Amino acid sequence: MDLNFELILTVLFLVAGLFWLLNKFVLKQAEGLAEFMGSLAPVLGFVLILRSFIIEPFQIPSSSMVPTLKVGDFILVSKWTYGLRLPVLRSKIVEVDSPKRGDVMVFFPPHVDRYFIKRGSWFAG
């Protein structure tokens, strides 16, 4: 079972943002859990923007990239190289470039919930 971290992070950010709004405009002097959850909103928002639009870490899941990348290695993926996508929905909102031969790609095939990491020897271009 793969954990959908992007969905969990988005939901946590929305909940923390709701607490932040309550603290700011309704409760004025919140204490305890409401204050703590409200204080997490900016941090969760920063992490959500960073992972959704700038860079995201991925772990190599199989031996298809050996010998250059080994199983368990981590890579940082530039999220804006080929276009921007909405978090969770993964629908492209801005087209930037297309993959080139030799690029390392992280992608989610249709109807599969896990990601694949491959070198672009089979990409058009």
Q: Provide the pLDDT confidence category of residue 122 given band limits of 50, 70 and 90.
A: low
User: Does the pTM exceed 0.75?
Assistant: yes
Assign domain 54-119 to its CATH architecture. Ribbon (2.10)
pLDDT for 124 beyond 70? no
Structure tokens at 56: 């995201």
Residue with token string 């700011």:
24
Is 39 an active-site residue? no
Q: Provide the pLDDT confidence category of residue 1 given band limits of 50, 70 and 90.
A: very low
Contacts of 92 (CB under 8 A, 6+ apart): 83, 84, 85
Mean pLDDT, rounded, for 109-115: 83
Contacts of 60 (CB under 8 A, 6+ apart): 69, 70, 71, 72, 73, 74, 75, 117
Is 118 an active-site residue? yes
- The DSSP H or E segment spanning 24 is none
pLDDT for 56 beyond 80? yes
Mean pLDDT, rounded, for 43-66: 90
Catalytic one among 62, 64, 98, 100?
64
List, for residues 2-51, the tens digit of each pLDDT value. 678 889 999 999 999 999 998 888 877 767 888 888 889 999 999 999 99
Dihedral-angle region of residue 50 (phi above 0 means left; psi in -120 to 50 means alpha; beta otherwise):
alpha
